[in-house]
Amino acid sequence: MLTREEGLNESIVQWLPVDATISAVPLTTTKYFDVDAVAVALAASPFYGSFRSVVVTSARSCVYVALALEASPHDVAFYSVGSTTTAALHEFGVSVVAEAHGTAATLASDIGHGPVLLLGAAAMRDELPVALRAKSLDVTVLPCYETLALELSHEQRRTLGGADVVLIGAPSAWRVAESSIGPDTWVVVPGTSTGDVVRSSHERVLEGWGPNLRTQLAQLR
């Protein structure tokens, strides 16, 4: 069962068993903030023009990378959270110095130069900014979008409840699906952040999206 919003599931399908019966029930939708409004917010930062490090916490933030480049010197270093974000940055012509494979906070040890600009969701977790400020680095957090929950129909909830495996991409998606997922269902998540949230109320959790997922799911049978 795929639960990402329309247009974001294509890359995942290739990782699933070839004989799998695949259904899709989008759980959330993304509201992107107006680029001009985000640019105004960024220009208000006292560190505009001097960011030494930029952290992109989601592939959805990549459409705002041009603003980050304009606000930084030419040698700015980019950091990403997750392989999907790294791949999206490469499509925008940006190379990544380090990638977080778990929570965003794990990047704190890799980032040594500030000021730091964080691009992400309006409800971005604060562990990374806290860790960076503890290292005496100046941080500007720039919200670029927000994730909105969708209202599911009875049929959609029934479909979720009957799935053997459900792929959940973010905590916001789990909050929508949680009440419909039975205890025997395996929930597959991208990494630690979402995994920790799901595990707080569900036992069967498998972390890691990628080419190995097909083998991992086959072993669950």
**Sign of the C-alpha dihedral, residues 113, 115, 121, 124?**
positive
Structure confidence by residue, pLDDT tens digits, 120-151: 999 888 889 999 999 999 999 999 999 999 99
- The percent of residues in the chain predicted with pLDDT above 70, rounded, is 95
The rounded distance, in Å, linking the Cα atoms of 75 and 166 is 41
CATH architecture, range 31-147: 3-Layer(aba) Sandwich (3.40)
CA-to-CA distance for 174 and 169, rounded, in angstroms?
8
Q: What is the pLDDT of residue 6?
A: 66
The low-confidence residues of the chain, meaning pLDDT below 70, are: 1, 6-11, 102, 221
At which residue do the structure tokens 């959940």 appear?
Answer: 168
Backbone angles phi, psi at 151, to 5 degrees: -85, 120
- Other C-beta atoms closer than 10 Å to the C-beta of 199 total 15
Backbone angles phi, psi at 62, to 5 degrees: -65, -25
pTM above 0.75, yes or no: yes
Q: Is residue 160 within 8 Å of residue 180, measured between CB atoms?
A: yes
Beta-strand pair 186-189/28-32: unpaired
DSSP state of 115: S
Q: Using alpha carbons, select from 144, 137, 128 the residue that is nearest to residue 42.
A: 144
Residue pair 83/90 in contact (Cβ under 8 Å)? The answer is no
The pLDDT of residue 216: 82
pLDDT at res. 214: 78
How many residues would you count in the chain?
221
pLDDT of residue 210: 76
Domain boundaries, the chain: 10-27+150-219, 31-147
